Amino acid sequence: MKLTIIGSGYVGLTTGACFAEVGHHVVCVDNDPRKVETLLAGQIPIYEPGLESLVKKNVAAKRLRFTTSTEEGVDHGEVLFIAVPTPPQADGSVDLSFIEKVAREISQFLDSYRVIVDKSTVPVKTGERVAQTIRRYAKPGVEFDVVSNPEFLREGSAVADLMKPDRIVIGGNTDRAIALMQKVYEPFAAPVLVTDINSAELIKHAANSFLALKISYANALSEICEASGADVIKVAEGIGADKRIGREFLNAGLGYGGSCFPKDIAAFIAIADQMGTPFTLLKEVQRINQRQIDRFIDGIREALWVLKDKKLAVWGLAFKPNTDDVRSSVAISVVEKLVSEGADVTVYDPKAMDKAKELAFASKVKFATSPLEAAAGAEALIIATEWPEFASVDLSELRTTMRAPMIFDGRNLIDPVAAADFGFQYRGIGRGV
Ligand code: UGA
């Protein structure tokens, strides 16, 4: 099929590459000429395992191309996917101006039937608005349908998630549009759930909120485990073994961050408030998430007494492993907090250093080139992102290079028994045993 993706960010680019990989002919549109140039040169602007080779392969096979022209995109695709940012506003509600702008741009070039798909994460009822906008600006009588098709990929495993999805959600109002969408996804051999547009839009916010709820549940348990002398990892294993609960997303730590959960939970709260059906449970999810960082910093302060001028090492800046994304990263919040209290902080991250160096806090910290270099002479080590390479650092070398043997493990990455064997004082999250 001929498909067009408008917006070549995380979701747009990965979706475009995966559609091309299964044989579709894909045009990716982006209004940033520099980004398009980079992509045409076979480079990708993000670190995502497997994506660069997929883009290169499909560009070479002429199934994937990039352009700045929306007209070219509308002309090419039977189905037009909108994958532009939906950033948060100060009150938590979603800024839909990019979606509205793309809807207007598309309508200008529409002259025969197209399916216009919302792939971006949007509040319920956005599809109705997109349809109204296109109707208002398009030539009279031109046929189109609007569909909601939320994306559930995770950064760091985006290609695998897209190629082998748990489910595809297609929210549409006409058989014609739904049939075309089913054809788009036929090569993926994944379960397809067909719904109305509003339900599909709600599924996305409801899914992300539920995952965040699981994380906050584990984090609330971690505090109880610390107070009662229990181990949150064992508790998560014990409850997660029940298939109805499931072990995933019950890892206690510094809380959730990234470009999706914090924004989507705030948006869902704002949407529910606007509709007069407040979702107060989610406010508690947010509160627990913030409390996890505060408790962690309190623990460091309590153990080290004074933070001012303390030489501290922080491992991890990305919001999670296998990505260079530092947007709303809890690791960065931790570093900022330590710096604001006058600590002398050296950081290391395997992939996220370049992106972190663009942020305001960067001038106030030192960047090391390896985990051990960051820890050299440190009076404490803070683990803020659970990169696998941190787990394999030689604890005896680490002990030798640090000035004082103290580890604050915000992601429960290191085995407390091994840490103690090498003479470290160790504090994890929810490990009261
Ligand atoms: C999340 C969802 O998992 C995807 O399904 C969704 O498509 C995506 O948002 C989106 O809306 O675009 P992502 O933000 O890439 O994906 O990352 P996750 O793997 O979900 O992790 C989010 C945060 O939760 C990270 O900060 C991670 O460290 C934290 N987390 C995750 C925990 O603290 N504990 C856990 O058990 C799991």
**Predicted confidence pLDDT, tens digits, the chain (433 residues):** 999 999 999 999 999 999 999 999 999 999 999 999 999 888 898 889 999 999 999 999 999 999 999 999 999 999 999 999 999 999 989 999 999 999 999 999 999 999 999 999 999 999 999 999 999 999 999 999 999 999 999 999 999 999 999 999 999 999 999 999 999 999 998 999 999 999 999 999 999 999 999 999 999 999 999 999 999 999 999 999 999 999 999 999 999 999 999 999 999 999 999 999 999 999 999 999 999 999 999 999 999 999 999 999 999 999 999 999 999 999 999 999 999 999 999 999 999 999 999 999 999 999 999 999 999 999 999 999 999 999 999 999 999 999 999 999 999 999 999 999 999 999 999 998 7
Give the pLDDT of residue 284: 98
Domain count, the chain: 2
At residue 297's C-alpha, the angle toward residues 293 and 303, to 5°, is 145
Question: Are residues 12 and 148 located together in one domain of the fold?
Answer: yes
Give the pLDDT of residue 432: 80
**Of ligand 1's atoms, which has the minimum distance to the CA of residue 150?**
7
- Residue in 198, 187, 253, 196 with CA at minimum distance from that of residue 220: 253
Question: Are residues 173 and 45 located together in one domain of the fold?
Answer: yes
Give the pLDDT of residue 433: 76
Give the pLDDT of residue 42: 83
Please check if 67 is assigned to a binding site: no
What is the Cα–Cα distance from 146 to 167, expressed in whole angstroms?
Answer: 20
| Closest C-alpha to ligand 1, atom 29 | 256
> How far apart, in Å, do the first and last CA atoms of the chain sit?
57
Query: How many Å lie between the centroid of ligand 1 and the Cα of residue 211?
Result: 8
What is the Cα–Cα distance from 237 to 254, expressed in whole angstroms?
Answer: 19
**Of ligand 1's atoms, which has the minimum distance to the CA of residue 156?**
15
The amino acid at residue 135 is: R
Query: How many Å lie between the centroid of ligand 1 and the Cα of residue 3?
Result: 28
Give the pLDDT of residue 8: 96
- The torsion angle over the Cα atoms of residues 31, 36, 38 and 43, rounded to 10 degrees, is 110
What is the Cα–Cα distance from 267 to 313, expressed in whole angstroms?
Answer: 35
| Closest C-alpha to ligand 1, atom 5 | 152
Question: Are residues 33 and 145 located together in one domain of the fold?
Answer: yes
Question: Are residues 29 and 159 located together in one domain of the fold?
Answer: yes
- The residues that are catalytic are 260
Buried/exposed code over 51-67 (b: 16+ C-beta within 10 A; e: otherwise) = beebbeebbeeebbbbb
Question: Are residues 180 and 291 located together in one domain of the fold?
Answer: no
- Whether residue 273 is contained in a domain is answered as no
SS3 of 17, please? Answer: helix
Structure tokens at 73: 């995109």
What is the Cα–Cα distance from 365 to 345, expressed in whole angstroms?
Answer: 5
Instruction: Say what the pTM is.
Output: 0.95
What is the Cα–Cα distance from 26 to 4, expressed in whole angstroms?
Answer: 6
**Of ligand 1's atoms, which has the minimum distance to the CA of residue 10?**
12
Structure tokens at 255: 């809380």
- Whether residue 302 is contained in a domain is answered as yes
Strands (E), 149-189: 168-171
- Domain extent for 137: 2-195
Query: How many Å lie between the centroid of ligand 1 and the Cα of residue 428?
Result: 21
Give the pLDDT of residue 197: 98
What is the Cα–Cα distance from 239 to 329, expressed in whole angstroms?
Answer: 28
DSSP 45: S
What is the Cα–Cα distance from 263 to 329, expressed in whole angstroms?
Answer: 12
- Whether residue 208 is contained in a domain is answered as no
What is the Cα–Cα distance from 236 to 211, expressed in whole angstroms?
Answer: 14
Which residues make beta-bridge pairs with 314? 347, 382
Please check if 251 is assigned to a binding site: yes
Please check if 263 is assigned to a binding site: yes
Sheet containing 144-148: which strands, arranged edge to edge? 64-67, 25-29, 2-6, 79-82, 114-118, 144-148, 168-171, 192-195
For 259, other C-beta atoms within 10 Å of its C-beta total 21
Give the pLDDT of residue 319: 97
For 139, other C-beta atoms within 10 Å of its C-beta total 10
| Closest C-alpha to ligand 1, atom 3 | 154
Please check if 250 is assigned to a binding site: yes
- Whether residue 265 is contained in a domain is answered as no
| Closest C-alpha to ligand 1, atom 2 | 154
Give the pLDDT of residue 5: 98
Residue 50: which CATH number? 3.40.50.720
**Of ligand 1's atoms, which has the minimum distance to the CA of residue 214?**
36
Please check if 248 is assigned to a binding site: no
Structure tokens at 342: 């006058």
Give residue 259's Cα distance to chain centre: 5
- Whether residue 307 is contained in a domain is answered as yes
Strands (E), 161-296: 168-171, 192-195
Please check if 39 is assigned to a binding site: no
Question: Are residues 305 and 179 located together in one domain of the fold?
Answer: no
- Whether residue 223 is contained in a domain is answered as no
Among 172, 195, 218, give the residue marking a domain's end. 195
- Whether residue 343 is contained in a domain is answered as yes
Among 180, 195, 210, give the residue marking a domain's end. 195
Give the pLDDT of residue 209: 98
Question: Are residues 14 and 153 located together in one domain of the fold?
Answer: yes
Query: How many Å lie between the centroid of ligand 1 and the Cα of residue 73?
Result: 31
Q: Report whether 103 contacts 59 (CB < 8 A).
A: no
- Whether residue 227 is contained in a domain is answered as no
| Closest C-alpha to ligand 1, atom 19 | 154
- Residue in 222, 212, 217, 221 with CA at minimum distance from that of residue 428: 222
For 337, other C-beta atoms within 10 Å of its C-beta total 17
Pairing of strands 425-427, 114-118: unpaired
The amino acid at residue 313 is: A
| Closest C-alpha to ligand 1, atom 12 | 260
List residues near ligand 1 (CB under 6 A).
121, 151-155, 208, 211, 215, 249-251, 253, 255-258, 260-261, 264, 319-320
Give the pLDDT of residue 155: 92
Among 195, 214, 243, give the residue marking a domain's end. 195
**Of ligand 1's atoms, which has the minimum distance to the CA of residue 320?**
28
